[in-house]
Structure 1
């Protein structure tokens, strides 16, 4: 049930000669004050067409309004405010929710693939907080795509190729120790990488040595490949610890190296089409816009990030025939993805408009971007484990007899970190603050999880079974039902805007409405309305659990 659609249809029956259903739907608003009704229709558009005062039109429309779910319509100046029949809407909404359960808000399956390129940590570097945003925004968007009827194809495009490996090999062969690396792989490799950037300031010739190492890697030099494989294996072990904590899986783990044998045909195609030109010894493609040319090959013949992304895009289109290919990558890569799309377009591909870059803001530390070069890094695994430990302490203090304490602590701790990020609009940068992130009060993941657990406890204690009917027509019940009815729209908006924060804000709002209802209504009182009230509680648990799932957060039944 969609109250906006109900009002739209009622208005369309009156105004079909003047406005389309789509036009009417876009004009309908939510009044700022409850006393002004549930929905409002402004008459300014009609006034300009009819050449009449909007107040007069509003009065006439209010008198003509007729729908079985609308209690009354009132003209308030230039607006037509409608009030719905709460008992009827409550009963119909809860009946629908009881049937659909977790499938409430699902769209019809399209069978179309949406490819997601996200997370993509760099081999031989720690999985830092800097990779949190791409990882959890990407996972949430994949969940939202599935909810909206698509088949999500989740790809981890590992940063396992590039000049940084030349730098690391240079550092390891100059200052490294195999024993030291084997004892503590990632921190040690990170130490070498930071040391390289300190030394290169005094000895710029190291950059040439590093480029030489990467060229050897591209040419399949035995020593270079052996080092690269070792660094990669150790890194994946560390990454998988983080993915396991977050409950994240991928359909394909295809690093940049996966496309090594797919780049030559792309370069040949560019040459054949006359698009590849020389610029200061390097090979570039002019984008045909005001943007700088796209660099395809360096002077020494090594390929670049753009070359691999061109090959990756062509491979993914052939392999998955995607409806959309979504790149969840930081805002600083905006120019890069624009260039890749422009080059593919010049190559004759007509699907470049289906490549979507979903940028996001930074995680800042002290107002500055986190950097691996200078060693200013906060490890994501450490943050998650710290969050879990704090959740364990919280449980030990408030509910020491809780069953499955370790599992609940893991769900609450990781949920706190994930929710703290996703409640922010993705383009906003987020200041890293461990204390704030792990607060278990206010607008947090644990607050929503606790609301779900509270509702589950009510269902467990009840001496009746939920039965869909109207639980009453009071303000508290109505506020909860209206929030429940808003879920499908929130699911659609979150997907079309590529904005998980829409869902985070929604579950906070639903939790607030339910907790107000819980505080003012004797839900478990044994009377004729008890089964209906339990039906409302059950609907809240279903929607909160599903909303949290879309964000990648679990909903424990008890806390």
Structure 2
């Protein structure tokens, strides 16, 4: 099914009557036809193979003959003007005037925010509460470029779920506990300076952490001091806790500033420290349920093997009785279910943690938490070679600063750049969109090579191209204010260029549907990039200026609809559209 439901309703209704099956069984088999720039195509296609696999048609016999037979039993009318069969597919061509009229109706008077989101494709989607855990950097460290992927992917998933009607809880689960804080606490006592901490907090903590790590490599006293400080933390001794809280508050304040630049926000800042006591309760529960075993090394383990033969175990307790990261993750998951009663929980981390989440979900299920089946890990690959043009980069802000500076420079050199109130802010938004699109174009699990030159190109499949197209459409609409007042005549938009653009808009809900199914942004990104290429052709071939008023008005309606869909899709990706550049 697609946005253009009234046309689909005709097709599905005929199929239902012809084959005497409920209408909804045909939805999985019906989809839009891929658009080609110059080539005329049908609008929808029906897969006979899918009908066969679903038991609606006999699974044996020549599939092409089946397609031709079914096509001959479906009759064209005033809505669908042509029905044909080829290669096991039945294609439907809609009356062109009706296609234009119905597809552009939602955009009348600037509406269209919900275009594609109310599609019948999403009728089977379960709405509810979705908790997304993403970003999750470590306290007392500057925001590393490596955290960028978790942050922007998690933000995309949260945006998508929210746009489809879910209640979304955005959670940042900070790495704010563990032996590294023993090292940092001991190191601050040795190398720290409160004055430097006030001036450049994270830079100073980073320097202290590097120094104390070097010292601990060859100094047993430093290692012991780190163990002592962490023990004080676990005992909640006031001096240690006070310093730890200072580190945490400083870091969260700095992170909020970076998140604001990225257009990212969180509902909850949580962390491992919140679940330290609950982790001990988890150990007791595992023990009482007979799930906790003791290994030869004296550690506490849980069997996570498929056959229950201890061939694969997960360590949840050190030999000295202290808990680990996964023990706190188990406690955190149970606590979140009790607090937020989520319907699904999504973790966004790099693919190296896939086994960790497999073990987490297996242990939760073994403990009797059946909702663990509704928990999901979205893994992603590494960014290779993310660095400034002058050398290796350590921190994300260096990348953001350089992206903004590069876009600002390119804008200053371009003859088409418009005057604007805040060129730096515009350059920031365009630079971030360039980062996002380069990241989102391929499968998330894949590693990808960071490339400044390719990322910042104004032409080609880049975030800059998306922003340029949106700004160009905004300018066109602004220059022709008042033209919309004329009566809209859909028969003035039936040339191939406008039909191709409209046919592509039909695919918007399918792009969202595929992204919602596998939580991959590539479907939406590629849809938007194709839309921009079609808009570029329409700009050349369908001028508004100099055309008769009724023609100009019809074309402007087309461009307004395309602009609305482009902006909506960009926002779901986490991109803020710019009106000028």
Offset, 1:469:
4.6
Offset, 1:206:
5.7
Q: Give the structure 2 partner of residue 394 of structure 1.
A: 410
Is 2:406 aligned against 1:406? no
Q: Give the structure 2 partner of residue 286 of structure 1.
A: 303
Aligned length: 553
Q: Give the structure 2 partner of residue 102 of structure 1.
A: 113
Q: Give the structure 2 partner of residue 509 of structure 1.
A: 530
Structure 2 counterpart SS, 1:300: coil
Q: Give the structure 2 partner of residue 422 of structure 1.
A: 440
CA distance, structure 2, for counterparts of residue 530 and residue 131 of structure 1: 47
Judge conservation of contact 2:175–2:272 (CA < 8 Å) in 1: yes
Offset, 1:53:
3.8
Judge conservation of contact 2:187–2:208 (CA < 8 Å) in 1: yes
Give the counterpart of 1:80 among 79, 87, 90. 90
Structure 2 counterpart SS, 1:302: coil
Q: Give the structure 1 partner of residue 206 of structure 2.
A: 190
Larger mean Cα displacement after TM superposition, 26-35 or 224-233: 26-35
Change (3 A) 1:98 1:426: farther
Give the counterpart of 1:217 among 224, 233, 241. 233
Is 2:564 aligned against 1:546? no
CA distance, structure 1, for counterparts of residue 359 and residue 457 of structure 2: 42
CA distance, structure 1, for counterparts of residue 325 and residue 11 of structure 2: 49
List alignment gaps of at least 5 residues for structure 1.
Answer: none
CA distance, structure 1, for counterparts of residue 127 and residue 29 of structure 2: 29
CA distance, structure 2, for counterparts of residue 528 and residue 302 of structure 1: 75
Give the counterpart of 2:72 among 63, 67, 72. 63
Give the counterpart of 2:517 among 493, 496, 513. 496
CA distance, structure 2, for counterparts of residue 220 and residue 412 of structure 1: 46
Structure 2 counterpart SS, 1:93: helix
CA distance, structure 1, for counterparts of residue 113 and residue 106 of structure 2: 12
CA distance, structure 2, for counterparts of residue 197 and residue 340 of structure 1: 30
Is 2:480 aligned against 1:464? no
Change (3 A) 1:193 1:383: same
Change (3 A) 1:56 1:403: same
* TM-align CA RMSD: 3.1
CA distance, structure 1, for counterparts of residue 568 and residue 169 of structure 2: 20
Is 2:272 aligned against 1:256? yes
CA distance, structure 1, for counterparts of residue 80 and residue 209 of structure 2: 67
Offset, 1:296:
2.0
Structure 2 counterpart SS, 1:122: coil
Give the counterpart of 1:167 among 180, 183, 189. 183
Is 2:317 aligned against 1:317? no
Offset, 1:79:
4.0
Is 2:579 aligned against 1:557? yes
Structure 2 counterpart SS, 1:102: coil
Q: Give the structure 2 partner of residue 352 of structure 1.
A: 372
CA distance, structure 2, for counterparts of residue 121 and residue 127 of structure 1: 7
Offset, 1:122:
0.6
Change (3 A) 1:139 1:517: same
Q: Give the structure 2 partner of residue 277 of structure 1.
A: 293
TM norm structure 1: 0.90
Q: Deviations over 1:125-173 (max 9, x none)?
A: 1101100011011111111001111011001111111122223234434
TM norm structure 2: 0.86
After superposition, residues 466-481 of structure 1 pair within 5 angstroms as 469-470=489-490, 471-481=492-502
Q: Give the structure 2 partner of residue 37 of structure 1.
A: 42
After superposition, residues 102-121 of structure 1 pair within 5 angstroms as 102-107=113-118, 112-121=128-137
Q: Give the structure 1 partner of residue 347 of structure 2.
A: 327
Offset, 1:244:
1.3
List alignment gaps of at least 5 residues for structure 2.
Answer: none
CA distance, structure 1, for counterparts of residue 64 and residue 434 of structure 2: 49
Offset, 1:310:
0.9
Q: Deviations over 1:211-262 (max 9, x none)?
A: 4432332122334323322222222232122111112111111111122233
Larger mean Cα displacement after TM superposition, 409-418 or 503-512: 409-418
After superposition, residues 125-274 of structure 1 pair within 5 angstroms as 125-202=141-218, 210-274=226-290
Q: Give the structure 2 partner of residue 433 of structure 1.
A: 451
CA distance, structure 2, for counterparts of residue 20 and residue 211 of structure 1: 67
Judge conservation of contact 1:163–1:210 (CA < 8 Å) in 2: yes
Judge conservation of contact 2:16–2:23 (CA < 8 Å) in 1: no
Q: Give the structure 1 partner of residue 15 of structure 2.
A: 12
CA distance, structure 2, for counterparts of residue 507 and residue 36 of structure 1: 20
Q: Give the structure 2 partner of residue 451 of structure 1.
A: 469
